[in-house]
């Protein structure tokens, strides 16, 4: 027995020394870093100072900055998943989930200088169910997962420790702040890029204020009995091509005439953060025959005008959104205009020409618009 005990002690010490000298193997799967952001049921806005979203966003931003080079090079994909179940049908849930995902991506683009190509986006018309208990499923969230390779785990761990240290120095939010309803907290609405992620396998929409196609009418021209109908194709969130056409064909037995047509093409460049303000290059071309009608009364009550006109210039304008599908478009054009015309009067029902081959040229307004716009095929 005395010999066995020293032998056992020797074998135990040898085992411990061997274990101490061994190195544990690296994990074969990536070390994922998960961040969860909460949203209000039925709402796509990203309320940052609500339910810990702000603290989670700070942690994610710091981690992204630490791994910034690898993310931009595509070595570490940023997976963004939107989850929604509060809408009435699957299509509406996917639509809301896409908007929420884009809100979170916009914050990362602004705060951490990422690009749209860094993201892999998926949206789900279901609850996020990675909780241990089924009744703890989070239905209205956006999750961001950084797929960190094993070699980058050490760097990520250091970043997490630094974040935890900073968090510990910050006082925890009070109960009153944590339970503040979303309507009372600051609302953040960021523009969303229309360009789809290059590496995404799901088609995700762009800006809620960006549309693919629009039908429009100029209410000012309509008021002067010059009905106008136009269309616009948004090439992307920055550029659009518009064409308006106007036509009136009025006349009666008293000699009042307003027969004219007008085409107004325009190329637009949408500016600023929300892409509501724009500048453009436009032109007008048309023919007219007017006498003592709505527009003719503005020019002269004694003379009629018959001829053609053309103009070219720049436009500035602003679109005021009324709802998801409707807007009011204010614009003003300035440039060069030329009228070639004959003047005439009507005596006893007979047209009598007064001047022939007249020309009028000027620099000034080329168009004015108060358009009612119906937006179709929005990128959502």
Could you read off the pLDDT of 256-277 as tens digits, one per residue? 888 899 999 999 999 988 889 9
- Every domain of the chain with CATH number 2.40.160 lies at 211-378
Percent of the chain with pLDDT over 70: 71
Q: Residue-wise over 210-232: b if at least 16 C-beta within 10 A, else e? A: bbbebebbbeebbebebebebeb
- Every domain of the chain with CATH number 3.30.1330.60 lies at 28-180
Q: Is the pTM of this model over 0.85?
A: no
What stretches of the chain adopt beta strand conformation (E)? Answer: 31-38, 78-83, 119-124, 141-148, 211-218, 228-234, 239-251, 257-271, 277-291, 304-321, 326-347, 350-378
pLDDT digits (tens, 9 = 90+) for 1-38: 555 555 555 555 554 444 444 333 333 334 568 999 99
Confidence of residue 158 (pLDDT cuts 50, 70, 90): low
CA separation for the pair 231, 191 (Å, rounded): 24
Question: Does domain 211-378 fall into CATH 2.40.160?
Answer: yes
Long-range CB contacts (within 8 A, 24+) of 326-329 = 326/372, 326/373, 326/374, 326/375, 327/373, 327/375, 328/370, 328/371, 328/372, 328/373, 329/216, 329/369, 329/370, 329/371, 329/372, 329/373
Strand 257-271 versus strand 277-291 pairing type: antiparallel
User: For the structural domain made of 28-180, what CATH number should be given?
Assistant: 3.30.1330.60
3-state secondary structure of 150: helix
């Amino acid at each position: 027995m005395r010999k066995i005990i020293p032998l056992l002690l020797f074998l135990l010490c040898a085992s411990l020394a061997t274990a101490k000298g061994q190195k544990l193997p690296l994990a074969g799967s990536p070390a994922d870093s998960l961040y969860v952001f909460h949203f209000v049921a039925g709402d796509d806005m990203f309320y940052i100072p609500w339910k810990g979203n702000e603290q989670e966003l700070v942690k994610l931003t710091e981690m992204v900055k630490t791994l910034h080079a690898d993310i931009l090079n595509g070595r570490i994909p940023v997976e963004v998943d939107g989850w929604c179940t509060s809408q009435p049908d699957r299509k509406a849930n996917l639509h809301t989930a896409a908007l929420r995902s884009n809100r979170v991506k916009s914050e990362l683009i602004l705060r951490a200088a990422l690009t749209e190509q860094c993201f892999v986006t998926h949206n789900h018309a279901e609850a996020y169910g990675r909780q241990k208990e089924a009744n703890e499923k989070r239905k209205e969230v956006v999750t961001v997962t950084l797929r960190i390779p094993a070699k980058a785990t050490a760097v990520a761990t250091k970043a997490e420790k630094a974040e935890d240290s900073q968090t510990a120095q910050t006082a925890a939010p009070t109960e009153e702040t944590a339970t503040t309803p979303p309507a009372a907290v600051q609302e953040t609405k960021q523009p969303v890029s229309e360009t789809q992620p290059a590496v995404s396998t799901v088609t995700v929409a762009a800006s809620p204020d960006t549309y693919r196609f629009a039908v429009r009418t100029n209410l000012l021209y309509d008021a002067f009995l010059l009905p106008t109908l136009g269309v616009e194709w948004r090439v992307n969130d920055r550029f659009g091509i518009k064409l308006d056409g106007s036509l009136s064909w009025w006349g009666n037995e008293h000699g009042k005439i307003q027969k004219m047509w007008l085409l107004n093409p325009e190329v637009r460049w949408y500016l600023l953060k929300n892409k509501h303000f724009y500048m453009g290059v436009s032109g007008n071309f048309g023919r007219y025959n007017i006498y003592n009608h709505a527009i003719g009364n503005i020019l002269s009550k004694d003379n009629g005008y018959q001829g053609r006109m053309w103009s070219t210039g720049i436009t500035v304008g602003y679109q005021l959104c009324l709802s998801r599908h409707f807007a009011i478009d204010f614009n003003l054009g300035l440039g060069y205009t030329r009228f070639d015309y004959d003047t005439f009067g009507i005596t006893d029902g007979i047209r009598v020409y007064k001047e022939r081959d007249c020309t009028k040229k000027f620099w000034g307004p080329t168009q004015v618009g108060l358009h009612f716009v119906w937006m179709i095929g929005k990128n959502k």
